[in-house]
């Protein structure tokens, strides 16, 4: 805990706050869709991924996704979802962390983001199938539902990665992301 700087915490908090603000109307939408047209819920699931993907891709440190999504959960509690918002966002954050935990946070290739998001969506699909009794619906409904959900997630990952890249250009993450390899750090030191 000591090794984590306040700057890192607050950077994630800022991204989380923005994501949380975005999630408040999305939560309202989710409530409305669940009640009327569940197919549309599949379209908006991606919104939960954008914040943690951006944070993780920007600061490239363990815990960034979890922290960001936790904060966005706290912020988006100001919606009908209430405290359950935190549970949802933490679940998403934790899932994203898992993909990088497997590689010991050494590899930051985009495909890991996509793969992790896909795996999480499969799990989410399973719960949605139980909740909506999807096995009783027609095949084309099921296919459409699955497709929408996957496309939504992939679009969210794409948007998050792009946003992170553009943010990195503005220099806001300087000094936050750890050096990619020890070699670059050593050459830099040799220059001094």
List the interface residues with other proteins, window 21-50 (CB under 8 A): 21, 31, 34-38
Query: Which of 25, 28, 87, 110 is close enough to bind other proteins by CB under 8 A?
Result: 87
Applying the rule CB under 8 A, the residues between 100 and 119 that interact with other proteins are none
Among positions 10, 98, 101, 102, the unique one binding other proteins when judged by CB under 8 A: 10
**Residues 6 or more apart in contact with residue 79 via CB below 8 angstroms:** 23, 24, 25, 27, 28, 85
By CB under 8 A, tell whether 125 contacts other proteins: no
Is the CB of residue 96 less than 8 Å from the CB of residue 120?
yes
Give 21 or 115: the residue with its C-beta nearer to other proteins: 21
* 147 touches other proteins (CB under 8 A): no
Q: How far is the CB of 178 from other proteins (least distance, A)?
A: 7
Two tokens at 82? Answer: 């209430």
Which residues are CB-contacts of 186 (< 8 A; sequence separation ≥ 6)? none
Residue 4 DSSP symbol: S
Among 25, 28, 131, 147, binds other proteins (CB under 8 A): 131
Shortest Cβ 45–other proteins spacing (Å): 16
Query: Minimum distance between the CB of residue 139 and other proteins, rounded to whole angstroms?
Result: 8
End-to-end CA distance of the chain: 31
DSSP secondary-structure letter at 127? Answer: H
**Residue 135 DSSP class:** G
Give the residue among 48, 43, 50 at the shortest CA–CA distance from 145.
43
Q: Smaller CB distance to other proteins: residue 109 or 171?
A: 171
Residue 76 CB partners (closer than 8 Å, separation 6+): 20, 21, 23, 24, 26, 27, 85, 89
Binding flag, residue 6, other proteins (CB under 8 A): yes
Q: Are 44 and 29 in contact (CB under 8 A)?
A: yes
70 counts as binding other proteins under rule CB under 8 A: yes
Among 56, 75, 153, 156, binds other proteins (CB under 8 A): 75
Binding other proteins (rule: CB under 8 A), the pick from 29, 94, 115, 167 is 167
Number of residues that bind other proteins (CB under 8 A): 75
């Amino acid at each position: 805990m000591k090794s984590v700087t306040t700057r890192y915490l607050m950077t994630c908090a800022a991204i989380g706050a923005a994501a949380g603000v975005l999630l408040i109307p999305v939560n309202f939408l989710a409530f409305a869709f669940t009640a009327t047209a569940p197919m549309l819920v599949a379209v908006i699931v991606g919104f939960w991924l954008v914040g943690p993907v951006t944070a993780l891709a920007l600061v490239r440190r363990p815990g960034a996704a979890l922290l960001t999504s936790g904060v966005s959960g706290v912020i988006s509690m100001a919606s009908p979802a209430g405290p359950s918002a935190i549970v949802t966002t933490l679940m998403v954050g934790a899932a994203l962390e898992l993909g990088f935990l497997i590689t010991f946070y050494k590899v930051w290739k985009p495909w890991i983001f996509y793969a992790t998001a896909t795996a999480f969506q499969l799990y989410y699909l399973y719960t949605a199938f139980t909740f909506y009794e999807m096995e009783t619906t027609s095949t084309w409904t099921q296919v459409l539902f699955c497709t929408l959900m996957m496309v939504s997630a992939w679009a969210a990952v794409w948007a998050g990665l792009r946003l992170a890249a553009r943010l990195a250009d503005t220099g806001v993450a300087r000094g936050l992301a750890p050096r990619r390899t020890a070699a670059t750090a050593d050459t830099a030191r040799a220059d001094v």
